Amino acid sequence: MEYREEEWLQLSGLQHFSFCRRQWALIHVEQLWAENLRTVEGNLLHQKAHDSTDRESRGDLYILRGVNIQSRELGVSGQCDVIEFHRCQEGVPLQAKEGLWQPYPVEYKRGHSKENDADRLQLCGQAMCLEEMLSCEIKRGALFYGETRRREEVIFTAELRSRVRECLSEMHDYLKRGRTPRVKPFKGCNACSMAEYCLPGMLRKRRVGDYLDRFMEEAIREGEDVGSIKEGRGDE
């Protein structure tokens, strides 16, 4: 199955969704946006990656910056901060370049490496887009963290790829239904740029619709059509 262009999601949303699906929905379903220090610092770091020279050649290394990417199969589009092309026999041909080149995506992030896989999922999603665009296989890429100024190599395992597919499929579902899920507040709420819209304190309060919310979450995950149930609700 292929998604139509008007259905494409922003690939960067994968990181938000993996951190908190409610945060993603507030930004991408309800179109709300708030900036805090973390998001401003993150944007500055990205601008730095994108403002540099667009392309650069260093022997067997060719570097492109700010490359637009997309996947019809996943229904996403976005941008790669940096793609390094390493000359090697298993690589792909590039326009106006001799030889074969293996793509290696590099994503710039503020802060440092985290336990959760949000950044790794986003990078893996980029690699999957590039694979579709260049008809090749990309086994690894790297995250560069601004705070530690270190690179972390990420291997694109079958498990990581399948989580990318699952998340994107859920995101398409939420967007199609125009639904913002409720989630349990967690320690990440303290630094969340969307806290003023989300009101995590309110999420703690029990309400009559909680049971139905949980039921619908589970039904969405299982791919059931709960549109008819939602239409019958009076508390939203």
**Dist CA 188 CA 203 (whole Å):** 14
- Least distance to ligand SF4, CB of residue 170, Å: 15
Residues interacting with ligand SF4, by CB under 6 A? Answer: 20, 22-23, 26, 183, 185, 188-189, 192, 194-195, 198, 200
- Least distance to ligand SF4, CB of residue 194, Å: 5
Task: Using alpha carbons, select from 62, 48, 155, 44 the residue that is nearest to residue 101.
Answer: 62
- Least distance to ligand SF4, CB of residue 116, Å: 12
Is the CB of 10 or the CB of 52 nearer to ligand SF4? 10
Is the CB of 71 or the CB of 122 nearer to ligand SF4? 122
Instruction: Annotate 170-197 with DSSP letters as a single string.
Output: HHHHHHHHT--------GGGGG-TTHHH
- Least distance to ligand SF4, CB of residue 112, Å: 19
- Least distance to ligand SF4, CB of residue 169, Å: 20
**Dist CA 43 CA 166 (whole Å):** 27
Is the CB of 13 or the CB of 141 nearer to ligand SF4? 13
Task: Using alpha carbons, select from 37, 26, 18 the residue that is nearest to residue 115.
Answer: 18
- Least distance to ligand SF4, CB of residue 12, Å: 16
Instruction: Annotate 71-134 with DSSP letters as a single string.
Output: ETTTTEEEEEEEEEEEEEEEEEEETTEEEEEEEEEEEEESS---SSSHHHHHHHHHHHHHHHHH
3-state secondary structure of 144: strand
Please state the three-class secondary structure of 29-71 as a single string: CCCCCCCCHHHHHHHHHHHHHHHCCCEEEECCEEEEEEEEEEE
Is the CB of 27 or the CB of 49 nearer to ligand SF4? 27
- Least distance to ligand SF4, CB of residue 193, Å: 8
Is the CB of 20 or the CB of 69 nearer to ligand SF4? 20
Is the CB of 18 or the CB of 23 nearer to ligand SF4? 23
Is the CB of 98 or the CB of 236 nearer to ligand SF4? 236
Confirm if 180 and 22 have CB atoms less than 8 A apart: yes
